[in-house]
Amino acid sequence: MNDMTWTTPKGSPRMSSHPRPLSWIVASVGALAVFLIYASWVLISSPIGATVHGYFYGLGSSEKLDLSVSPIHEASIDPHMNKSLDLADNKPPLDPQSSTVSSDLSNDSKTEQTDTTTNSQVDSRESTSDQEVSNSQEPVTSFGDNVDAANSSLPTQENSQTDLTPSATISSNVTGIRTEEPTSAVLTNQSSAVITTSNETSTTSDDSPSTAVPESAEKPNNTSYAASVNSGCDLYHGNWIYDPLGPLYTNNTCPVLTQMQNCQGNGRPDKDYENWRWKPFQCDLPRFDPKKFLELMRGKTLAFIGDSVARNQMESMLCILWQVEVPKNRGNRNMQRYYFRSTSVMIVRIWSSWLVKLTSEPFDFAPAGVDKLHLDAPDEKLMEYIPQFDVVVLSSGHWFAKQSVYVLNNGIVGGQLWWPDKSRQMKVNNIEAYGISVETILTALATHPNYTGLTIVRSYSPDHYEGGAWNTGGSCTGKVKPLALGELVENGYTNTMHEQQVTGFNRAVKKATNRSKLRLMDITEAFQYRHDGHPGPYRSPDPNKITKRGPDGRPPPQDCLHWCMPGPVDTWNELVFEIIKREYEGGSGAS
């Protein structure tokens, strides 16, 4: 012990050995300090660290997204949503038995009143306030067969025969919006091409976490993973093939499924419609890998914006991701939000029926109570949040069959199911109004100074009312498999709406000025083959519902617009995933 003492007399031969262990100790302490600092940094920045960071600081980067709406903007929320969803007033749930459904009642606003009791029970760890807000979002409502609200937004037989030839050319001094002939079939076929609105190669912001995927990420066994990601093939021309592996989830493993789309839970007897996969001619579309998706989207926010068909797609995405992680329900009165803590990913849904500005006050010769669509102004509520989103999936179209007034350049130019003064010339019909609205919202996104995200425009979703419209005997009952190539009967209304959407998309691309990107996810043609994918008469769990034609041959009330879950709609999210992969991993775009 004396050899190690610090009091050895000066001049002792042992003294010369002391400096060496002293410097060694100092170096060791320094190295340990550097190691601890480095380890702390790794812990905070790594996947594990993200979780630890969340527990210590409360929220990840995406969870910090505060999308609360100020009282001023609350007033701008779609009034139909306020009436049907109870978003503005705390009213008791609506009783469909106590009211008569008129022809003006829309599918999208009515189907929002679905049974979401399970939503508030998704995560018992949520705060009481979060649960109360979630519960107030969508009142519980049952749907009976005698309430045909599921399809009332669709055009009637008479409306579907609307003159598709534009009646006038209208120029806008403000936005340059005009109505013209729909694009040609050649242009429509080219719509699958990916169009970039800037020379930027990535939408990832400077402070976004890395989106690199670990080599150990599990890849699907039944798909050509590398070929699909890197080939840049055309994703939108192909056929439907039977897949014995079946869907990625079931109606029993997804608690956020809207009851009207829960076809198996509502008693649909066949299941093969769940097993058909989309196969592009030039490549394979990979089976959705939810773990890889969450890793790819780490720290980012994905928003679905549109009507109830957009909700259909958002719920499909949640159902798929739910199989690997139960998210936190962060919904409020104005939107749905689900937070995946492991990767700080937020999935958001915002309701916007037309994607453009909506007012109900009197305007010119249009009275109060009739919806006025300002076709040259985007939805203000929606635009407030756009800069906070990394990926936006945008869709619309079906609400343009609903009663409304069209305002352009501060003047009334047309209307749908409303035009009281026959002496006045109607300059814009509902189909043309749709094209203008698409150009308006996409131009607003592509020129927004603070938006740098990826916008995926999901093309017009076809319905399958055969033999009539939704209220004139149209039906999709008994369809149990997709149409084969060569069996498709073209739907003129669907094709024209699609052409108008593509026209609006292409015009917006030409006006782009920011770093954001626009992509057209062109599902219209592929999904015209899926007449088997709708709920049909299986819209509720009511054991007494009518599912077969009556003695007079008239079909029962049914939904041939929305999609069963699981079902064809899941393919939309496989396409969304593929588009995001090509952007974030540097693969080629669709062509």
Report CA 93 to chain centroid distance, whole Å. Answer: 26
Burial track 487-515 (b if 16+ CB lie within 10 A, e otherwise): eeeebebbbbbbbbbbbbbbbbbeebebb
Give dist(CA 280, CA 18) in Å, integer: 76
- Rounded to a whole number of angstroms, the distance between the first and last alpha carbons of the chain is 80
Pairing of strands 335-340, 372-378: unpaired
Label each residue of 444-462 as H, E or C. Answer: HHHCCCCCCCEEEEECCCC
Give dist(CA 541, CA 553) in Å, integer: 24
Chain length of the chain:
591
Tell me the catalytic residues.
Answer: 308, 559, 562
Give dist(CA 400, CA 435) in Å, integer: 10
Nearest to 351 by CA among 83, 574, 118: 83
Give dist(CA 40, CA 560) in Å, integer: 55
Q: Amino acid letter at 550?
A: G
Give dist(CA 172, CA 507) in Å, integer: 14
H or E stretch at 328: strand 328-329
